[in-house]
Structure 1
Amino acid sequence: MANNTVKLHRVFTAGPEKLFKAFTDADAMASWLPPYGFVCKVHSLDFKVGGEYKMSFTNFTTGSSHSFGGKYLEIIPNKLIKYSDQFDDPNLPGQMITTIQLKQVSCGTELIATQEGIPEIIPPEMCYLGWQESLDKLKRLVEPNIPDA
Structure 2
Amino acid sequence: MSENKVSLHRVIKASPEKVYRAFTETLAIASWLPPYGFLCTVHNMDVRVGGTFKMSFHNFTTGNGHSFGGEYLELKPNEFIKYTDKFDDPNLPGVMTTSVWLQKTSVGTELRVLQENIPAVIPAEMCYLGWQESLEKLIKLVEPEIPDA
**Fold shared by both chains (TM-score > 0.5):** yes
Aligned to 1:77: 77
Aligned to 1:55: 55
Cα distance in 2 between the residues matched to 1:143 and 1:10: 13
Asked whether 1:124 is paired with 2:137, we answer no
What is the root-mean-square deviation of aligned Cα atoms in Å?
Answer: 0.5
Aligned partner letter, 1:16:
P
Cα distance in 2 between the residues matched to 1:43 and 1:37: 20
Give the TM-score of the pair, scaled to structure 2: 0.99
Cα distance in 2 between the residues matched to 1:61 and 1:52: 29
Asked whether 1:137 is paired with 2:137, we answer yes
Give the TM-score of the pair, scaled to structure 1: 0.99
Aligned to 1:5: 5
Cα deviation, residue 3, structure 1: 4.1
Aligned to 2:18: 18
Aligned partner letter, 1:99:
S
**Identical pairs, percent:** 65
Any gaps of 5 or more consecutive residues in structure 2? none
Task: Name segments (4+ residues, structure 1) moved above 2 Å.
Answer: none
SS at 2:111's partner residue? strand
SS at 1:17's partner residue? helix
Cα deviation, residue 2, structure 1: 1.3
